[in-house]
Amino acid sequence: MQTELIRIDREHIPFSVMERAGALLQAGGLVAFPTETVYGLGADALNEEAARKIYAAKGRPSDNPLIVHIAERKALERIAEKVPKEAEALAEAFWPGPLTMILSKKECVPQGTTGGLSTVAVRMPADEIARELIRQGGGYIAAPSANISGRPSPTTAQHVYEDMNGRIPLILDGGPVRIGLESTIVDLTEGRPVILRPGYITLSMIREVAKEAEMDRGLTADDSNIRPKAPGMKYRHYAPKAELCIVEGPMERVISYINKNSAGSKTGIICTEETKGCYVNGDVKCIGSRKDEVSIASHLFAILREFDADGVERIYSESFDTPGLGQAIMNRLLKAAGHQRVDAADAEL
């Protein structure tokens, strides 16, 4: 299959292209498109056959449900059996935006979209290209990240092309995404709202709207018997080809540890503006500034892909427990590292 890549000017979104892309979706085809979080791989969410094509193109396990993207709030009624008042309040506060809500589903949402679950994940993205495509595509677009399963999520159309060339007919290129981490997922099917995946919308932002909200224990528990509730959270994710290790502790110790361990091997280093001059070996990549959390979030996946291209054998990363987005950034980084971390405070230097 030939994959077409079309550049879209955000200032003048071309109606004819969006209409053609929408028609492809309505005919059961796949289209990759930008959102403010990461690039999505879209299909008609109410067409089981179309949704199945997503699993095939990504190599995604079939028990990992898809998020349904809508363009208008009122679209929710057709697919959600019950919309509790907390869900109304969260939608009012954060839609359109990087928030996904889990609600009980109506009959019309096929099990092929929800991985066999009786609930459905719904999000209304803020990106205008995404919203226009959803409208043209019939209003309900299932769209996981547009990467091969297990690889870092795509934050540019080029990343999508690397993974999906020959597998899908069309990629809409809207330039690099703004946020670079997937949406926050909140479960609203069990009384109090529970965050199943951390993202740009943090727990404290959600608590301003829904005081009772909490984190899923499976996300933070040291006990590996407590499983995360979102099926997708149990899989290894975002993994670069090299082994990745996160180095924690006081910054001078982190730098010394990495300098000591990076001599003589093909090592990649993930650092920040504040520390980039401190490393003496290896392939040093600056992820962003600690003063600007979004810069760190938005470059994380791209850097992991760059190290793949550079062919490094191991990667050391500083830790990014920043105040707001730190939890979401560390959730992705720890998954990418297969939870490999060292505390430089305890290490022999």
Minimum CB distance to ligand AMP, residue 183 (Å): 7
Calpha distance 204→78 (Å, rounded)? 30
**Which residue is associated with the tokens 């019939």?**
138
The residue range among 6-14, 228-236, 256-264, 293-301 that interacts with ligand AMP, by the rule CB under 6 A, is: 228-236
3-class SS of residue 114: helix
If residue 103 lies in a helix (H) or strand (E), which one and from where to where? strand 99-104
The residue range among 69-77, 85-93, 115-123, 293-301 that interacts with ligand AMP, by the rule CB under 6 A, is: 115-123
The shares of helix, strand and coil residues in the chain, as percent rounded to the nearest 5, are 35, 20, 45
Told to check if 170 binds ligand AMP by CB under 6 A, we report no
Binder among 42, 137, 154, 232 for ligand AMP (CB under 6 A)? 232
Told to check if 231 binds ligand AMP by CB under 6 A, we report yes
Asked if 8 and 32 touch (Cβ cutoff 8 Å), the reply is no
Amino acid at 296: I
Which residues in 178-257 belong to E strands, given as ranges? Answer: 184-187, 194-197, 214-215, 243-248
Asked if 153 and 60 touch (Cβ cutoff 8 Å), the reply is no
Told to check if 193 binds ligand AMP by CB under 6 A, we report no
Site residues for ligand AMP, 52-81, by CB under 6 A, read 64-65, 67
Which residues pair with residue 323 across a beta bridge? none
Residue 117 binds which entry of Mg ion, ligand AMP, none, with Cβ cut-offs from 5 to 8 Å by kind? ligand AMP
Residue 154 binds which entry of Mg ion, ligand AMP, none, with Cβ cut-offs from 5 to 8 Å by kind? none
Told to check if 87 binds ligand AMP by CB under 6 A, we report no
Query: Which lies closer to ligand AMP via its Cβ, residue 299 or residue 332?
Result: 332
Amino acid at 308: D
Minimum CB distance to ligand AMP, residue 115 (Å): 7
Told to check if 144 binds ligand AMP by CB under 6 A, we report yes
Minimum CB distance to ligand AMP, residue 280 (Å): 38
Query: Which lies closer to ligand AMP via its Cβ, residue 144 or residue 174?
Result: 144
Residue least distant from ligand AMP (Cβ) = 232
Minimum CB distance to Mg ion, residue 145 (Å): 3
Site residues for ligand AMP, 121-140, by CB under 6 A, read 121
Told to check if 233 binds ligand AMP by CB under 6 A, we report yes
Minimum CB distance to Mg ion, residue 252 (Å): 36
Site residues for ligand AMP, 256-315, by CB under 6 A, read none
Calpha distance 293→89 (Å, rounded)? 26
Binder among 5, 93, 117, 245 for ligand AMP (CB under 6 A)? 117
**Which tokens sit at 96?**
């359109």
Contacts with Mg ion by CB under 5 A lie at 144-145
3-class SS of residue 303: helix
**Which residue is associated with the tokens 């870092």?**
152
Minimum CB distance to ligand AMP, residue 276 (Å): 30
First CA to last CA distance, the chain: 53
Nearest to 120, CA basis, from 50, 48, 74, 188: 188
Nearest to 303, CA basis, from 152, 167, 193, 196: 152
Residue 29 binds which entry of ligand AMP, Mg ion, none, with Cβ cut-offs from 5 to 8 Å by kind? none
Calpha distance 30→21 (Å, rounded)? 9
Write out the residues near ligand AMP by the rule CB under 6 A: 64-65, 67, 102, 114, 117, 119-121, 144-145, 182, 185, 196-197, 230-233
